[in-house]
Structure 1
Amino acid sequence: MTAAASLATPALLRAQEKTQVADLMTPRIVGLNKSLPPGEVHVSPGLFRLFWTLPDGLAWMYPVRIGRGDLYEAGEFYIGAKKVWPSWTPTPGMIEREPEKYAQYADEGMPGGPGNPLGARALYLFTEERGDTFLRIHGTDDPGTIGRAVSNGCAGLVNNHMIDLYEKVPMNARVVLYPKRPSESLSRQS
C-alpha cells in the first residue's frame, strides 16, 4: 500500500453550511476549511464534489459522480495526460465484470465524440509507481449520474463543467482522491 492509499480524510472535510438544492449542480468558488496549495484537484466522494484549489484558501467546487463500490480508489495521483474528445477502450476488469456491456469494444474501443463514456475531455491519473492507473477525471453526457457512485472507478463531471475544469488543470497537477466517508467536505459552503 502506498502512502497515498493510506490517506486519512483530514478534519478540513467537514461541511459547515447547507446550500440550496439547485445550487448543488452549479460550479462555484467556495472557501475551504483549511488552506491547501493552489493548483490541485481534490475529490471529496462523500459529498460528490471535486475542488480545484485557488490561492487564499479558496477553490472552484464542481459536482461529480464517482466509482461504485470498491472500484473507487483513494490515493494521490498526478495528471499524466490530457485529451480532448478521447477515444475509449474498456479495461479487462470492466469486460470481465460486465461482458454484455463492454466486450463489443474490447478490440477497437470507441472513437471520441458524443456518446463516448469519457465525454468531451479527460484528465488521466498517473502515479510514479504504476504510471497510468486507468483512472480518469472525465466528462459525461448523462447528468443523471452526477451525485452518485456509478462509474468504473473514475470521477465524472457533466461535459460543460469538465471542459471548464480541463482548461484550468495543467499537466502534472497533484490530484487527491479522499477515502469514502459519509459526510465529508473541503468547503465551508457545500
Structure 2
Amino acid sequence: MPDDSHSHPAPSEFPAARMFRRQLLLGIGAAAPSGCMTERRRTIAEPPAPPPTPPMYFAMEDDGHYIPEVNMSQFNPAYIRTEVDFETDERPGTLIVDTPNRYLYHVHGDGRATRYGIGVGRSGFSWSGRANVGYKRKWPRWVPPAEMIAREPDLEPYSSANGGMAPGINNPLGSRALYIFRNGKDTIYRIHGSREAWSIGRAVSSGCIRMINQDIIHLYDRVDVGAPIVVLPDLSEQTIESI
C-alpha cells in the first residue's frame, strides 16, 4: 500500500486552521455559531430638547398668584412676543386682532407695534368688527354667560347667581382680562390670559381671544381703557359674526 502520509497536509495546515490561528494571534475572536449570535442593539434617538425659555416667559409671582414657566415644548416659537415693523392707519394704542394669522398687534405709532401670539374662537364662534376696551381687571372672576351654561350645564356652579369662579391660575380668564365693549355694551368677548401654551395659534375658545399669562400681563400694563379694538375676519370660517 502506498504511504500517503505526506500527500495531505496536517489538519493544522488547512486554510481554515491557519486563519483561526491568525485570529488568535491578533486577538480576534472566532465568529459565534449563527444560532447563538448576539442580537444587534438598536439605537434609540433621544427626543429633541425643547428650545430654551426666554426670560420674559419664566415663572413669576403676581399679586399672590404663582404663574408657571411657559412650556416651550408646547409653544410655537412663531408666537413669541416681539416688536415688529407694522404699517397701519390706526392710531397708536389700537389693538388689531389678526384672526387668520393668530396675532394681536398693539400699535405704537411710527410704523412699529408689539406682536403677540393668540388663540381665537373656534369655528362657529368667530367674530369680527370694531370695539373698545370697556374696562380691564387683574385676576378676574369668571362668569360664563347664560348661553354657554345652556350648552354646558356643568358650568352652572359658576353662574352669575353663584358668584362665578374665584380668581386663580386655573380660572379660564387667567391673570388678566380686557372686556370688549361696543357702543357702550358688553359684547361678552374678552382678551384674557391662559396657562395653556399649546392653544396659542389655534382656534379653540368660545369666541374670546386668549394669550399666555405673561403676555396678557405685558399688554395689560400698556393698554388704556377705551382703546380701540379692530378684529379682522377669518374668511376661511363658515360662521362670522360682526359686532
Normalised by the length of structure 1, the TM-score is 0.79
Code of the aligned partner of 1:148? R
Report matched runs for 1:53-64 at 5 Å: 53-64=107-118
Aligned-pair identity (%): 36
Match of 1:120 in 2: 175
Match of 2:67 in 1: none
Question: Within the alignment, does 1:160 sit opposite 2:214 as a pair?
Answer: yes
Q: Is the 8 A contact 1:36 1:57 kept in 2?
A: no
Aligned CA distance change for structure 1 residues 86 and 125 (closer, same or farther; 3 Å): same
- Which ranges of structure 1 fall in alignment gaps of 5 or more residues? 1-20, 183-190
Match of 2:139 in 1: 85
Code of the aligned partner of 1:172? G
Q: Is the 8 A contact 2:131 2:181 kept in 1?
A: yes
**Greater relative CO (CA pairs within 8 A, separation 6+):** 1
Question: Within the alignment, does 1:104 sit opposite 2:157 as a pair?
Answer: yes
Range that drifts further, 31-40 or 73-82: 31-40
Code of the aligned partner of 2:139? W
Query: In terms of Rg, which structure is larger?
Result: 2
What's the CA shift for 1:71? 1.4
Runs of 4+ in 1 over 2 A off after TM superposition: 33-36
- Which ranges of structure 2 fall in alignment gaps of 5 or more residues? 1-74, 237-243
Question: Within the alignment, does 1:170 sit opposite 2:224 as a pair?
Answer: yes
Report matched runs for 1:14-163 at 5 Å: 23-100=77-154, 102-106=155-159, 107-128=162-183, 131-163=185-217
Write out per-residue CA displacement over residues 4-62 of structure 1, whole angstroms, 9 at most, x where no aligned residue.
xxxxxxxxxxxxxxxxx954131111112444321100001111100000111111000
Q: Is the 8 A contact 2:79 2:103 kept in 1?
A: no
- What is the alpha-carbon distance in structure 1 between the residues aligned to residue 182 and residue 116 of structure 2? 23
Match of 1:3 in 2: none
Normalised by the length of structure 2, the TM-score is 0.63
- What is the alpha-carbon distance in structure 2 between the residues aligned to residue 34 and residue 172 of structure 1? 19
Q: Is the 8 A contact 1:81 1:124 kept in 2?
A: yes
Aligned CA distance change for structure 1 residues 127 and 34 (closer, same or farther; 3 Å): closer
What's the CA shift for 1:70? 2.2
Q: Is the 8 A contact 1:127 1:133 kept in 2?
A: yes
- RMSD over aligned Cα, in angstroms? 1.6
Counting matched residue pairs gives 160
- What is the alpha-carbon distance in structure 1 between the residues aligned to residue 89 and residue 207 of structure 2? 27
- What is the alpha-carbon distance in structure 1 between the residues aligned to residue 77 and residue 202 of structure 2? 17
Q: Is the 8 A contact 1:53 1:60 kept in 2?
A: yes
Code of the aligned partner of 2:129? G
What's the CA shift for 1:108? 2.5
Aligned CA distance change for structure 1 residues 123 and 45 (closer, same or farther; 3 Å): same
- What is the alpha-carbon distance in structure 1 between the residues aligned to residue 96 and residue 103 of structure 2? 8
- What is the alpha-carbon distance in structure 2 between the residues aligned to residue 150 and residue 62 of structure 1? 17
What's the CA shift for 1:86? 0.2
Q: Is the 8 A contact 1:122 1:136 kept in 2?
A: yes
- What is the alpha-carbon distance in structure 2 between the residues aligned to residue 57 and residue 23 of structure 1? 23
